[in-house]
Structure formats: structure tokens, C-alpha cells
Structure 1
Amino acid sequence: MSAQLLLCFVVGYFLILFAVAWYTSRNSNNDSFFIGNRNSNWMLVAFGMIGTSLSGVTFVSVPGSVGNIAKAGGLATGIIYFQVVIGYLLGYMVIAYVLLPLYYKMNLTSIYNYLQQRFGNWAYKTGASFFILSRTVGATARLYLVINILHIFILSRLQIPFWISVAVVLLMILLYTFEGGVKTIVYTDTLQTTLMIVGLIVCTIYILSHLHLSVGNAVNAMESKHLTRIFDMDYKSKTFFLKQIIGGAFITIAMTGLDQEMMQKNISVKTLKDSQKNILTFSVVLVFVNLLFLLLGGLLYLYAYHYGASFQNIMIDGKPVWTFAQNGTNITGDSLFPSIALGLLQTMPSAIAVIFIIALISALFPSADGALTALTSSFCIDILGLKQRDDLNEKQKKKIRMSVHLSLTIIFFICILIFRCINSRSIIDKILELAGYTYGPLLGLFAFGILTKRTLPNHFIIALIALISPILCYMLQLNAVAYLNGYVVGIEILIINGLFTFLGLLAISKKPLTN
């Protein structure tokens, strides 16, 4: 299929988003932007959050991970990622029954207001700043990877420079979130999640049909290729099952329950009971969607084997390389899905290319538009204190909010271009891993507030502890293999980071005053 025709479908997709944004943003105000007037439908929020949780990187990386091989002659990773998904379920229980009741009881617009009320401004600003840093880096890294796919397969063929590709995509996101904010993205996320899941299902059904396999036969074929391994029993490994399950639970607590972007949508629901329904429904559906991604990953490798793909005993940017005998093309796991769907083997119908592109950008935008909106909300409320500014009227506040929204879009643009200059998938992966470092202090701050009744001085030392903890974690991760008998620190770095922060806060805390 021609790049021009694919571009037409992408433009049509944006026009639909603009129509939804125009309809939902009518008569909107700052409360609409920040918390959707606390009138969002819990079912829409639950469904839309699937798209937010499963970014465009997940859309290509989770299927690609199934056939990854850590080293020459080793076993394929299989569906080990499902260990983390099991942990997600445990984390969502904590969010539903510990964090959400707290947020609703305090009637929060920004969840970091909890830190202000519990410990004062230094804890409050520290928590908000770590969220802003983490979401900016994470969101722009994800945006870069997906925009790069769109650029390689569509826009570069039309001689459009990369920076224009980035500017156009960011402009589209800016325009449809500019007025409505949360009120709009609750609906656009629902639309995008629907299209993403439809694309996932269609691609799965097509490959099953093409290979003349039932689901049961496909699983058996995957098993024969060692693609169905779930649990890693090696306690020294980064993917040891207890590490992955416990780490997955804490990742969910930190990156959903302590994340303004994710919680902003939850607290936009009218009642606590409905918000809890949202989280629990979303968590169950998310498990099945991840299973479908992993099944698709196995099918893609069976499809690749069918056309003569073979594993090569070499690595590129730390990722195993597969070669297709048909044309001698080398690809890594992350490139498998887009390469096959967009014509590497010239065996899939053109309709699959269209469905893949629409599904890919549908997976991208819920995480990108939500991040931009949440960062705007957090900066306006937590850093600028906009809601407490009685000297400004609604119109003036709206003008400031729009200026922040535009400024963050420009920052996104600059960060994506920086990633383009780095131009290395392995470096991007490391940047994404920073989530374990930036969310750790947030985990420690909230845990200290919820689990203890001790007080903290309203002092810069809180920020200092939050900065020192990730540094200690980095040193530990760097030297763990040498000092801990080969033990590799993996996903649990988030928990260790939170623990360091907790202990640091404990050291400077005092017992509460008693009457």
C-alpha cells in the first residue's frame, strides 16, 4: 500500500478525534480540564485506561519480547512478561481499597495535595516535581519510538523531514486536548482503546487463518518452539518470578496509584464506589488484553518461522537479531510486528497495514494526550498553585493553563528531537527504566505518610533525601552482581528506591504531638 494512502487514513483518524474533542469540550472550564467536573462515566474511564496503560511501545514490544533470547543458545523469553501482569492485579487491589478512599476523602484535584496536607510544601513540591520529570521523559520516549515508526514507513517516503513529522503529531495532540482536557480524553481514550483492541484482534485472527491454526493448535506450536515459558525459577535472574510479581504490584501502585495522569481520570468519576468499580474492571480486562498481546507475539514468530526466519547469534543494541531467508533482512523483536504488518514479507493484505497503523497510533495517543494533560494539571496546580490564586479570575487562570499546555508541548518536541539525535534503542530503553528511579521517592513519600503517624520538618532535606535515594539505587544496581554473589537487581529497584526514601524520612522524622 502506498504511503500517500496510509497518510490519508491517518489524517481521517485525526479528523474523527477533532470531532470528538469539539463535541466534548463545549462549555468547558478549568474543572473540566483538570478533573472532568467529577462527572465522568466509570465504565468509559475503565475502558479508556487500558489504552493509557498500554502505550505504543507496548503495542510493538510485548509481542516482540516473546521470541527474545537473552544470549546465544538460550531459551526464548516466552510469555514471562505475564509474571508482571499477575503483579499488576495485586497492585490494583491496593489502589482500589487504600489509595482511592484516601483521595476521595480528601477531595483532591491533584493527588500530591495529600503530601502537602500531611507534611507541608517541601514534600508536596518534591512529589509533584518527580512526577513531572518522570512523565515528561517517559511520555516523550514513547512518542519518539512510535513517531519513528510512522516516519520510517509513511512520512519519510513522502520526503517529509522527521522534525516536521514530530511537530504535526504534537500539534494534533495539542489541538484536541487544548480545551477539554480530562473531559475530552475520557472519550478519545475510549475510542482509541477500541481501535487498538480491534486491530489486535484482527491481526491475531488473520495470522491464525493464514497459518490454518486454531488457538489450541497455535499454543501447541508455540510450545514446540519454546515460546510459552511463563515462570523463571532462577532467583539470581532479573526475571525471577517472585521479583516480577512483587515488582509488578509495586509498579502498579507507584505508576498508577501515585501518578497524577492515571489518578486524574479515576478521581474524575463522581463517587468512590464507581471509581473502585473502574479500577477493578480495568485490571481484569487488562490481564486479558496482555494475554492477547502475548498470543499475538507467539503467532508473529510462528509466522516468521513459516517464511524462513532464523535466530542469529548476534545482538544489535542489546537485542537478538532475526534474519528472514526470503530477503535477507535483519530485524530485532521490537521491529517484528511493524515490519511484517507493513510489508516486509509482502504477504499480508493492504488492509492489515491500515489496521496496524490505526491501532498503533490508537495505542500511542492515550498515553501521550493523557501525559500532556496531566503534566499541565500538575504544573498549574502543584507548582503554580493556580487553584489557590484568588487574585485571578477564571478567564485569567484558563489563559495561564493554556500557556503551560503549549509550553509543555514545545518541551515534548525538544525531548523527542534529542532522542532522535541519540538514535539508539538501547539508550531509549534505559531512559524508560528511569521510571524505577523517579517513582521510587514518590513511593517512599506516600508510604511514609500512610503507614506512619510521624511528622516531617517542612525543609529542603526532604527533597535531598528524594534525590539521594535514586543515586544509592544506581550504585547498588551497578555493583550487585559483584557483591551479592551474582544477584542481578531488576524490577525490584523501585521497591528498594522507595525503601531508601522511607528510611531517610524516618531518620529526620519526629513523633506526632499528643494532646
Structure 2
Amino acid sequence: MRAIDIAIIVIYLAAMPLIGVMIGRRQKSSTDYFVGERSLPWWAVMLSVVATETSTLTVISTPGLVFGGAFTFLQVAFGYIIGRTVAAFVLLPRYFKGTQVTAYQYLGKRFGNGLQGTASVTFMVTRLLAEGLRLFAGAIPIKVILDHYNIHTSYWHIVVALTALTVIYAFIGGIKAVVWVDVIQWSIYIIGAIAAIIVLSTKLPSGWVSTASDQGKLALTDFTSNIFTGSYPFWIAIIGGAFLSMASHGADQLIVQRLLSCRSLKDGQRALIGSGIMVFVQFGVFLVVGAMLWVYVGGAGSQTVKDIAAKKLASDDVFPNFIVNDLPVGLSGLLIAGILASTMGALASALNAMSSSTVGDLYQRFAKKRLSDEQTLKHARMWTLIWAVVFAIFASLFTNSKDPVIVQGLGIVGYTYGALLGSFLLGLIFRKARQLEAIIAFAASVIGMAFIILFVKFDTKNGNSVHIAFGTAKAPDKALVSWWYTLIGVVIALVVGGLLSLRHRSAAPEADEANRPDEPDPDREPANA
């Protein structure tokens, strides 16, 4: 990389914390810190949601998916639109009641503090694993740059530096700073991706589209893959994507907190559904980059593609290496800044969401101590710092993997997303269900999914025969594809909780009140806690 590229990256790293501090330096209250006084425009929240879920996993890993497959990942993205639409009209109205600042406060009202705390802790553990992996992924391209200049350093040094820069504006500015910095960061990496497409188009022969198409790299649907073990079998990719998106955007505080910062329920629904459409388009852009890179490195006959197929190289490395070695001066710096943008945006979002959940769902509930607004804001900032340290330590423990990091990230949430979404649906569907049934159902879902993910294998050479493998699986055995995880987890929670609730003769006293949509005009003025 050239000096101007390095300058762009350095300027970006210095500018983002300063911009975040300027935007959010005048915090008025804890509600301002957590949900921006419910005054943010829906389009900004929409882009913040997209930036939050994108992270480095999408920017560097999605183009690499083409090397091992095609455009079939878009099937999952279509399922995302369906899942978010359902969440917007089924779950979101319950969160806009009163002055809630976390998704799990609904569970507290419907079932009790026990399940609210259980869900909150589960969210934190899941976020720690998933965002820790994302933070590590953000260090990959930086290490490529430093190695290029023979500056050898460890991943954990880079992780600590990224965390320190991010926590500056997350600590001071709260959700308002996080959202507006997300908007800037989303713009940077999208512009960078489009610029990469333009540059690649000048380097490829005129018939590159036909070359990619002839090799099946532009295929959008997959009706031939094994429904249990294939990468993206059509129906389960769409249905599984819908349930995954319902969980991630309807039962995960990371996203729900942003939606609660909208001015009204209607705006929140616009932001949520719009984010699904934007993500679909965004995945398409990055997959186009991947298809062009596949042709650029020589197609099926090239040694690079052969090495990736043989797992000698990580597909995640293809795009970062192209950015560093092949892009014109200035564009390399812009795209690396975009990757840093996605990393810092996702981390800032996680810090703010985990801080709000720690204070709102756990501390104030179980300490049995009512905090003043000033004390709540103080605790929120304290927990932002604590979680930043925890993230830096945890992300430093990851090592690079040959598997795409986006696949690893989706696998992590498979353990808990079904239980989280299942708890919300249990409260909505089964009016007789009480807290004990909900907690048992939650635990059964997590334990059941851990068992399925770790030990249930399919022998695809013998008619998809299923067997349990406690460390003795044969070579042809394959695990269940991750798109099933949330769906199965939800089914376990609903079946267990629903059956247990039959022992009650009447509906739970809290069921009607908790499930009644917000009575005031959904376009009400922003509420203060």
C-alpha cells in the first residue's frame, strides 16, 4: 500500500471517534444514552441496523462464498426480508409499549424477572461469542497490511487498538453517536465495494459474466443440495433465514435497541423491513465482487482457486489481498477504512446494547435498588467500559480459521437464538404459560440445540442415516446445516413450553396485559423514561 492509503486509514481512525463524540457529547439522560430519547429518523436507524449486522464478516467473507459456491446465499437474504416483516408486525408493537429500553423487558412483564434475566444473560454470552469473532475478523486485513510492510505483530495488538478507538465514542455518545457513526461507516464500505466492482470491471475480459455463469457461479437457487447438510438448499435456506432474522432482529437487544430509538412504532417498522431489503441488495453487491474476483484470479483452473477448494487457503483472505495488492492508490485505503468501519460499528453497537441490557435487565431488577437517572447513566457508561475490556480479551483468543468467518458467526448464534425467539413466541401463543414453563422450555431449547449441533451427524453416502457421534464420527459424516438451528430451537421451546402450560386451567394473569399492543397513537411523541 502507498502512503496515501495509509493516510486515509489513519485519518479515518482518528475521525470516527471525534465525530461520535461531537454527535453525542450532550447526553441529557439515561434514555438519551440507551435509545436517543426516541428521536432518531427511521432511515438512519435502518442504515445503522444494516451496518450493525454487516460487520467485517460480510465485507471480507461474503465475496469468498462464491469460490466455494455461487449466489445461493441470496436465498437466505430473501428469507431475511420475510422474517423481518413478521417481526415488525408481531413483536415490535410489544416493545413500543411504555418506556422499554430492552427487548427482554417484555419477557419480564409477561413471565417475570427470572426469564428476563435468563434471556439477558443468554444474549450477553451470545454477543460475546459472536462479536468477539467479528472483532477478530476485523484484525485480519490490518495484519495483512502490516505483514506487507514486514511489520509483524499479533492479532491481539490490533484487537486492543480497534476496541480502544471504538469505546471512545460509544462511552461518551451512547446510541445517538453509534447510529450516526454507523450511517457514515455504512456509506464508506458500500462506496468501497462499488469502487472495487468498477476497478475489477476494467481488469476483466468482456465475457467475464459468461465465464462465471458457465461455471455456475451466478446461480441464484439451489434445489439439488442435500436438505440437511447442503450449504444453501432452497426451502430451508429461505425458511431458516426467516426464522434466523426473526430472532436476530426481533429477539436480540443488539437490533431491538436501535428500533426503539425511532420516533414511533411505524418508523420502527419501516426501519426493520427496509433493513431486510437493504441487506439483500448489499449481499448482492458483495457476491458480485466475489464472482469478479473468481474470474480475476483465473477461474476454476487457477492455482488460487484450487488451493481454496483444497482448504489450503482461507477464502476470507482473497478480498483483503486484492484490496492491498491490486487496487489503485486511494481505493485500497478507502476499502480498508470500510472494513474497519464495519468492525468498529458492530463493536460499538454491541457495547451499547450490552450496557443497556446489563443495567436495565439485570442490575436494576436483581439489585433491588432503584437508581436515579444520573446513577443509571453513570452505570451505563461504566458497563460500556467493562464490556469493552471483556471483548478485547475474548477476541484475542481466536485464531484464524480455514472456514469462512461468516459461517462461524452464524454457527455461534445457533445455540441460543431458537430459545430466545421461542420464549417470545411462547408468551404470545400460549396464554396459560407461566415463568417456570418458559424457563424450562428455554433451557430445553439451548440444551437440545447444543446436542444437535455437536453430536447429531448425517451419513450422506447411506441415505442420510442419522447417528450420534461422541467424537467417533466417520469421515463421511456431516453436521446439520446451520439454517435449521433457529427453527428447531423455536420448535423445541414451543413444544416443551406449550405442553407444560396445559397443566394450568386458566390463562396467566400477565398474558393479556403484556400482549396487548400499545394503546396510544403509534405516532406518539418521543417518550421519556
**Which category describes the TM-score, using the shorter chain as reference length?**
0.7 to 0.9
Q: Distance in 1 between matches of 2:398 and 2:197?
A: 32
Aligned to 2:211: 221
Distance 1:80 1:415, change over 3 A: same
Instruction: Give the corresponding residue for 2:78.
Output: 86
Q: Among residues 107, 110, 116, which one is paired with 1:124 in the alignment?
A: 116
Give the Å deviation of 1:139: 0.4
Q: Could you tell me which residue of structure 2 aligns to residue 414 of structure 1? A: 393
Q: 1:476 to 1:109 in 2, by over 3 A?
A: same
3-state SS of paired residue (2:330): helix
Q: Does 1:442 align with 2:415?
A: no
Match of 1:497 among 474, 479, 489: 489
The 5 A counterparts of 1:90-239 are: 90-154=82-146, 157-211=150-204, 213=206, 217-234=207-224, 235-236=226-227, 237-238=229-230, 239=232
- Aligned counterpart for 2:339 among listed residues 356, 360, 384: 360
Contact 1:51 1:196 in 2 (8 A): no
For the Cα contact (< 8 Å) 2:431–2:507, is it kept in 1?
no
Per-residue CA deviation, residues 140-190 of structure 1 (Å, 9 max, x unaligned), is 101102213212323784454443322111000110110221111110000
Unmatched 5+ residue regions in structure 2?
467-477, 510-529
User: How far 1:48 sits from its partner (Å)?
Assistant: 2.3
**Alignment correspondent of 1:55:** 55
Distance 1:504 1:476, change over 3 A: farther
Paired letter, 1:337: F
Structure-1 separation of matches of 2:10 and 2:84: 36
Tell me the amino acid that sits aligned with residue 299 of structure 1. Answer: M
Helix, strand or coil at the partner of 1:478: strand
Amino acid at match of 1:371: A
Structure 1 pair 310/161, CA: closer, same or farther in 2 (3 Å)? closer
Question: What TM-score do you get using the length of structure 2 for normalisation?
Answer: 0.85
Say if 2:64 and 2:404, in contact at 8 Å, map to a contact too.
no
Maintained 8 Å contact 1:311/1:321: no
Q: 1:514 to 1:298 in 2, by over 3 A?
A: closer
Question: Where does residue 11 of structure 1 map in the other structure?
Answer: 10
CA drift of 1:483 comes to 8.8
8 A Cα contact 1:21 1:184, kept in partner: yes
CA drift of 1:358 comes to: 1.3
Partner residue in 2 for 1:39: 39
Q: For each residue in 1:204-246, what CA deviation from the matched residue of structure 2 results, as whole angstroms up to 9, or x when unmatched? A: 0111122254xxx543232023211222213444221001010
Residue 320 of structure 2 corresponds to residue 341 of structure 1: no
Q: What SS does the aligned partner of 1:419 have?
A: coil
2:506 — aligned with what? 512
Evaluate the alpha carbon distance shift between residue 161 and residue 190 of structure 1 in structure 2; reply closer, same or farther with a 3 A threshold. same
Please tell me whether the aligned partners of residues 25 and 179 of structure 1 are also in contact (alpha carbons under 8 angstroms): yes
Percent identity between the two aligned chains? 24
Equivalent in the alignment of 1:396: 375
Match of 1:453 in 2: 431
How far is 1:298 from its partner? Answer: 0.5
Give the letter for the 1:33 counterpart: Y
Deviation of the 1:95 alpha carbon:
1.6
Encode CA deviations 1:432-451: one digit per residue, 9 max, x unaligned.
40211111111211111112
Cα contact 1:376–1:405 (8 A) shared by 2: yes
Deviation at 1:192, TM superposition (A): 0.2
Counterpart-to-counterpart distance in 2, 1:187 and 1:164: 27
Quote the residue 2:448 is aligned against: 469
- Asked if the contact 1:222/1:228 (under 8 Å) is kept, the reply is yes
- List runs of 5+ in structure 1 lacking aligned partners: 69-76, 323-329
Report the AA paired with residue 25 of structure 1.
Answer: G
The DSSP-based 3-state class of the residue aligned with 1:179 is: helix
Q: Give the whole-Å Cα distance in 2 for the aligned partners of 1:268 and 1:23.
A: 19
Aligned residues: 487
Q: Distance in 1 between matches of 2:146 and 2:136?
A: 15
The match for 1:326 is: none
Alpha-carbon distance change, 358 to 312 in structure 1, aligned in 2, over 3 angstroms = closer
Bigger mean CA offset, 362-371 vs 427-436? 427-436
Bigger mean CA offset, 424-433 vs 247-256? 424-433
Aligned counterpart for 1:296 among listed residues 280, 283, 289: 289
Deviation at 1:484, TM superposition (A): 4.7
Would you say the 8 A contact 1:6–1:154 is kept in 2? no
Quote the offset at 1:331 in angstroms. Answer: 3.6
SS at match of 1:145: helix
The residue identity in structure 2 corresponding to 1:225 is Q
* Match of residue 268 from structure 1: 261
